Chains A and B, each alone.
Chain A
Amino acid sequence: MKALDLYSLTLHEIRDKIRSGEICSKEVLDSVYNRIENLDDKIGAYLTLAKDKAYEAAESVDKRIAEGEKLGDLAGIPMAIKDNISTNGIRTTCASKMLENYVPPFDAHVCEKLKAAGAILIGKTNLDEFAMGSSTENSALKTTRNPWDLERVPGGSSGGSAAAVAADEAFFSLGSDTGGSIRQPASLCGVVGFKPTYGAVSRYGLVAYGSSFDQIGPFTKDVEDCAIVLNHLYGHDERDSTSLAVEHGDFTEALNKDIKGMKIGLPKEYFEEGIDPDVKKIVLDGVKILEGLGAHVEEISLPYSKYALPVYYIAASAEASSNLARFDGVRYGYRAKEYDSLEEMYINSRSEGFGDEVKLRIMLGTYTLSSGYYDAYYNKALKVRRLIKQEFEKAFEKYDIIISPTSPTTAFKIGERTDDQLAMYMSDICTVPVNIAGIPAISLPCGFSKGLPVGMQIMSKALGEASIIKAAHAFERNTDFSKKKPTL
């Protein structure tokens, strides 16, 4: 293999080559940056590249290896990070005019951990402004295209991170998932995406959207890589008061396991109206493969799931209206040029700095929290949230995992849903319940419909990640969907 073609390998393949001394980290970096230079004008995955810092880091990794130091799985591996995760000294825009020139003076917890493990940040990826959206079209800074069809969206909100991995412009990337923002773009771009149990990964340094839903997680080229990256993301952090103080095991121990006797629930509500018939068929064919490997499959019912989207749009918007109050043009971020008073400075800075979808959600949240409407909307949503969570807990008493489509359709055309608010929101109909319940889930490539990737969602109870990895890896070992690449 030519050194410049290294970009097409998986994380674990690159790791093995670096470990054996066959290649050095700098060569891997050359290959990926060369790929980005040749391709990213077409894809538009990246908002910022961090070349100088990346080469410095690669040099240091190579030096440590030359000196005989034994480094971990991620040493020297180039990665991309969604641009709502704070990176010390590298601008973090949230794809918003509000933060276009903001440079964080600190690293998010996940960045500290990955840097310490020797992973190399190559750049920051595009997203829907402040992670609000399902197509990355709400970015105020750039259009990102789906590597499988450049006329189509990559999904969202972590569209840049999904597209970067799908187009071999990074070996893995980080996204954030509030209502499906990792899994849905992973599905649309044909890569593996994982949303951890709420509280398993620290949110310190993630620009907050819906704090009771937000979790950071990885995009990878296969399930083995996913397990490796999860090992480096999980862990307690006292700077996030919702961070769980639990020991997580080694997720790679769930690889290469037999799934005989595993109990799988198929919730009928997730295969009904609104789900494209092709997507349904492909996911069910995937389930048959797991059944063929010895898993027991039964149809189940989760009737409260249909209320997940309304709960989400009330609760997440309410949290957003509170979280985004900090952007007032005073301490950092965009400040309007014209105003006559301090209050007008706040109003003009916010009105000019935020995009339409962000303003809409702030107003919705303000409305549902305002006096007279709190009980009718916000409090009601929290009650239904409990019902949805309990319904999942009950199902997981009987089943190890629950499987559904990740997205009701494959990637849609750019512009197709921008004027239809509800059609866009429906993109997350299968993924939102997972965030409502705080449970983990993966999206895994499981087939193609008219040349576009289809994703299968596998969910488990809170902290049941090992069951998900076990089933997903068994599926991947017996199929070749994860190995398929777009023609670019």
Chain B
Amino acid sequence: MIEKNELQYVASLARLKLREEDEEKVREKFSMVLDYVGMLNELDIEDVEPLISINEVSNVMREDEIRESMSRETLLANAPDKMYGCIKVSKIIE
């Protein structure tokens, strides 16, 4: 089973916080899934190339043209907090 501090570290990387009462249950589910996917270790796949893109395409390019974008008002409509036409968050510099 994954160690408690290891799970807390993973959560912090993902910017998540586990409620103390949930920790055991999450550890159990997490470990169960990890054990299950460990099934892949049965396979000898040293020489297989990883499949990164299903249709094996890469770097789809287009001309860099100037186009109309959405208005500031439209883009800010869903912002949880705003001020002076900008998105507002708490202070990050002293």
A interface list, Cβ under 8 A from B: 102-103, 105-106, 198-199, 212, 238, 241-242, 244, 306-307, 309-311, 313-314, 321, 325, 328-335, 339, 341-343, 345-348, 350-351, 354, 356, 359-360, 362-364, 366-367, 370, 377, 379-387, 389, 421-422, 425, 437-438, 462
Contacts and interface: CB of A to CB of B under 8 A. Distances in A.
A345 B54 contact: no
Contacts of B41: 380
A330 B87 contact: yes
Interface in B45-85: 45, 48-55, 57, 60, 62, 70, 74-75, 77-81
Contact of B15 (A310, A328, A333, A356): A328
A205 to B, nearest CB: 14
Nearest to B60: A241
B90 A363 contact: no
Chain B binding surface SS class: loop
Contacts of A350: 14-16
Interface of B: 7, 10-11, 13-18, 22, 26, 29-30, 32-34, 36-41, 43, 45, 48-55, 57, 60, 62, 70, 74-75, 77-81, 87, 89-90, 92
Contacts of B14: 321, 325, 350, 359, 362-363, 366
B52 A382 contact: yes
B51 A383 contact: yes
A307 B41 CA distance: 10
A387 B48 contact: yes
Contact of A332 (B22, B34, B79, B89): B79
7 contacts: A105-B70, A241-B57, A325-B14, A347-B15, A360-B29, A360-B33, A383-B49
B74 to A, nearest CB: 5
Which A-B residue pairs are the 5 nearest by beta carbons? A382-B50, A332-B78, A335-B80, A386-B51, A438-B54
A199 B15 contact: no
Chain A binding surface SS class: helix
A366 B34 CA distance: 13
Contacts of A342: 89-90, 92
Contact of A347 (B17, B26, B54, B79): B17
A103 B77 contact: yes
Contacts of B60: 238, 241
A379 B43 CA distance: 13
A331 B48 contact: no
Contacts of B78: 102-103, 105, 331-333
B19 to A, nearest CB: 8
Given A360-B29, A370-B13, A345 B55 contact: no
A234 B17 CA distance: 41
A136 B86 CA distance: 37
A395 B22 CA distance: 45
B86 to A, nearest CB: 11
A75 B80 CA distance: 38
Contacts of B22: 356
Given A310-B37, A386-B51, 6 more contacts: A331-B78, A332-B78, A339-B90, A359-B14, A360-B29, A422-B32
Contacts of A103: 77-78
Contacts of B10: 363, 366-367, 370
B39 A387 contact: no
A241 B61 CA distance: 9
Contacts of B57: 241-242
A328 B52 CA distance: 27
Contact of B55 (A199, A307, A363, A366): A199
A198 B55 contact: yes
B16 A363 contact: yes
B62 to A, nearest CB: 6
A416 to B, nearest CB: 17
Contacts of B55: 198-199, 242, 244, 438, 462
B18 to A, nearest CB: 8
Contacts of A212: 53-54
B23 to A, nearest CB: 12
B30 A360 contact: yes
Contacts of B74: 105
Given A102-B78, A342-B90, A313 B45 contact: no
Nearest to A426: B36
Contact of B36 (A198, A321, A383, A422): A422
A183 to B, nearest CB: 18
B45 A380 contact: yes
A190 to B, nearest CB: 30
A351 B16 contact: yes
Contact of B26 (A314, A328, A360, A380): A360
B43 A307 contact: yes
A348 B45 CA distance: 41
A359 B40 contact: no
B50 A383 contact: yes
Contacts of B80: 329-330, 332-335
Contact of B33 (A330, A384, A386, A421): A421
